């Protein structure tokens, strides 16, 4: 599919949305009793839908869709805000400096390999100048369904934006970082993003303490 055709499809989808057309039934995220839900109850089928999504303008400039990676039966999910430029170019998580930093955080502290956890992002496409709330709103149904299908015992949000968007909580990050919180049926632990740690290495000690806490939670389950 060429870029011109993609843009035409996106324009038509935006028009339909502006006149009230719904692409799928609204999802009550985390509600295990929802039955009439047109998103599939299969992670691979959901991934195929996301790979062909053009509901927001992020689809105009992406090179790849980064749906998720890792063990679909994982006890822990790592959640980033959006794919990095390198991840978008190479169609892979754990690449580039921030990806390598995250891999080290996981494998040097936790009793698992990076392939044993599950990683995904708030939005599945790389933005050019930072994604906005409208982009997240278009993508959030996919994320919530993804979380419900993976059913992690713990969600680790990486960075202040990731925590705030997921939990809709504007508590200053320094107050909530490293503390176990509860969002719906899921435990959430916010910590620093790998990119932030690369720019501010003095905070790595605090991040290491957070990872030790995550390790303790995993070992207690």
Of 28-37, 46-55, 117-126, 127-136, the one with minimum mean pLDDT is 28-37
Q: Is the predicted pLDDT of residue 202 greater than 70, yes or no? A: yes
pLDDT recorded at residue 111: 82
Strand order in the sheet with 186-191: 69-70, 118-121, 76-80, 154-158, 186-191, 181-183
What does the pLDDT average to over 167-184?
93
Please give the Cα distance from 90 to 64 (Å, whole number).
Answer: 8
In the Cβ-directed half-sphere of 205, how many Cα atoms lie within 13 Å? Answer: 1
pLDDT tens digit sequence for 118-163: 999 999 999 988 889 999 999 999 999 999 999 999 999 999 999 9
pLDDT tens digit sequence for 72-131: 999 999 999 999 999 999 999 999 999 999 999 999 999 899 999 999 999 999 998 888
Assess contact for 101 and 122: CB atoms under 8 A. Answer: no
In the chain, the percentage of residues whose pLDDT exceeds 70 is: 83
Please give the Cα distance from 97 to 100 (Å, whole number).
Answer: 5
Question: 166 or 2: which carries more pLDDT confidence?
Answer: 166
Please give the Cα distance from 183 to 30 (Å, whole number).
Answer: 10
Facing residues of 69 across strands? 119
Please give the Cα distance from 188 to 65 (Å, whole number).
Answer: 25
Q: Residue 79: which residues within 8 A CB-CB, separation 6 or more?
A: 119, 120, 121, 122, 155, 156, 157, 158, 162, 166
**DSSP-derived secondary structure for 57-84:** THHHH-S-----EE-TT-SEEEEESS--
pLDDT recorded at residue 100: 96
pLDDT recorded at residue 185: 87
pLDDT recorded at residue 31: 36
Helix (H, G, I), strand (E, B) or coil at 186: strand
What does the pLDDT average to over 4-20?
56
What counts of helices (H) and strands (E) characterise the chain?
10, 6
Residue 24 main-chain phi, psi, to 5 deg: -155, 165
Domains delineated in the chain: 25-220 (3.40.470.10)
* Predicted model pTM: 0.82
């Amino acid at each position: 599919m060429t870029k011109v055709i993609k843009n035409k499809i996106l324009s038509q989808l935006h028009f339909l949305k502006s006149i009230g057309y719904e692409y799928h039934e609204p999802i009550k995220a985390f509600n295990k009793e929802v039955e009439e839900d047109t998103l599939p109850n299969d992670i691979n089928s959901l991934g195929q839908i996301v790979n062909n999504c053009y509901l927001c303008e992020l689809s105009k400039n992406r090179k790849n869709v980064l749906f998720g990676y890792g063990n679909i039966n994982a006890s822990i999910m790592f959640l980033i805000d959006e794919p990095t430029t390198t991840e978008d170019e190479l169609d892979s998580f754990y690449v580039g400096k921030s990806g390598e930093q995250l891999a080290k955080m996981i494998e040097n502290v936790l009793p698992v390999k990076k392939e044993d956890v599950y990683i995904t992002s708030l939005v599945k496409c790389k933005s050019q100048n930072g994604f906005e709330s409208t982009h997240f709103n278009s993508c959030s149904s996919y994320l919530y369904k993804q979380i419900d299908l993976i059913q992690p015992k713990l969600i680790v949000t990486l960075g202040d934006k990731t925590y705030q968007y997921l939990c809709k909580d504007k508590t200053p990050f320094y107050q909530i970082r490293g503390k176990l919180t509860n969002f719906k049926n899921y435990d959430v632990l916010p910590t620093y993003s790998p990119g932030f740690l690369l720019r501010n290495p003095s905070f790595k000690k605090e991040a290491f303490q957070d990872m030790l806490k995550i390790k303790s939670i995993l070992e207690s389950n």
